């Protein structure tokens, strides 16, 4: 049985078995949960369907958050990508950004999402995987399996560092999601387990110290847009690893550093809305707009 206490454990176990991390984790979790691998796969398949529906709901023109602070970002990005042939980042990444915004917007409007690993970072993994599916880059079965890889890295991050903004800042939410997605992307594109670990490490190091400062204490500003930033870091980290540009600091050491940085952050920068953007004049004004004085 895997302990999910280190990335090196995942890599070593997969290399010894000559298998993808996804296959290793599927069998391990099926045994731990006392269900068949097929039953567990079908449950993950449902999660992919929920992600797809969330992306669809969040892309609707009239989508608004419950607070009224945000809404329509997924729709506007989708229209921009269509009208401008993808814009500066091109059609593929443009569509991925639109999906990340849509899923995060669906969450803000109390829609059904998959926390991957949290609600605040829910758009990053779907934005990556659903776009690969939509563009015909990968098959649906491989996309579902990649979610097991993402989940395995997420469990290690949770055990070794944190996935909670209230404990580690946004590096623990969007940072963790980007790392999970980066590892999954590498495996989807035929990378090795070691390259998955490199992508995870690069993504973590790229968002080290990111604070959690939600305006009015709501998972909307700047959270929704940070899902796009995390998505872009996931893609770039995966490409770096696939190109053979390894992480100089091992993934487990990156996670240890992430935990230490999170512990060092003041409480005002850990989901309390007491600092950062939440404490700006506009942030305070928006808080009063939603909750009054």
Q: Tell whether 139 is covered by a domain.
A: yes
Residue 255 and residue 157: Cα distance in Å, rounded?
7
Residue 200 and residue 181: Cα distance in Å, rounded?
8
Q: Tell whether 292 is covered by a domain.
A: no
What's the sign of the alpha-carbon dihedral 68, 74, 79, 81?
positive
Q: Tell whether 1 is covered by a domain.
A: no
Q: Tell whether 20 is covered by a domain.
A: yes
Q: What's the whole-number average pLDDT of the chain?
A: 98
**Under 8 Å between Cβ of 147 and 184:** yes
What tens digit of pLDDT does each residue of 230-288 get?
999 999 999 999 999 999 999 999 999 999 999 999 999 999 999 999 999 999 999 99
The total number of structural domains that make up the chain? 1
Q: Tell whether 140 is covered by a domain.
A: yes
Q: Tell whether 286 is covered by a domain.
A: no
Give the pLDDT band of residue 293 (cuts 50, 70, 90).
confident
Which of 249, 242, 245 is closest to 204 using CA atoms? 249
Q: Tell whether 49 is covered by a domain.
A: yes
Q: Which domain holds residue 108?
A: 7-277
Q: How many CB atoms lie within 10 A of CB 34?
A: 7
Q: Tell whether 291 is covered by a domain.
A: no
Its pTM stands at 0.97
């Amino acid at each position: 049985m895997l302990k999910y206490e280190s990335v090196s454990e995942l890599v070593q176990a997969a290399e010894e078995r000559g298998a993808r991390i996804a296959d290793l984790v599927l069998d391990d979790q099926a045994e731990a949960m006392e269900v068949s691998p097929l039953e567990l796969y079908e449950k993950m398949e449902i999660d992919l369907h929920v992600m797809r529906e969330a992306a669809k709901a969040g892309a609707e023109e009239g989508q608004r958050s419950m607070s009224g602070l945000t809404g329509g970002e997924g729709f506007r990005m989708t229209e921009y990508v269509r009208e401008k042939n993808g814009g500066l980042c091109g059609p593929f990444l443009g569509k991925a950004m639109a999906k990340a915004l849509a899923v995060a917007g669906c969450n803000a409007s109390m829609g059904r999402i998959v926390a991957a690993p949290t609600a605040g970072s829910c758009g990053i993994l779907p934005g990556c995987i659903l776009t690969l599916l939509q563009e015909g880059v990968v098959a649906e079965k491989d996309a579902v399996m990649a979610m097991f890889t993402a989940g395995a890295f997420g469990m290690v991050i949770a055990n070794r560092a944190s996935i909670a903004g209230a404990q580690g800042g946004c590096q623990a939410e969007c940072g963790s999601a980007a790392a999970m997605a980066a590892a999954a992307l590498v495996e989807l594109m035929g990378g090795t387990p070691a390259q998955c670990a490199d992508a995870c490490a690069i993504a973590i190091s790229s968002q080290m110290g990111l604070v959690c400062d939600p305006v009015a204490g709501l998972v909307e500003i700047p959270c929704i847009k940070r899902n796009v930033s995390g998505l872009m870091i996931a893609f770039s980290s995966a490409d770096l690893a696939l190109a053979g540009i390894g992480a100089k600091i091992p993934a487990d050491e990156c996670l240890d550093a992430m935990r230490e940085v999170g512990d060092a952050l003041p409480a005002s920068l850990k989901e309390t809305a007491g600092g950062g953007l939440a404490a700006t004049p506009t942030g305070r004004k928006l808080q009063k707009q939603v909750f009054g004085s």
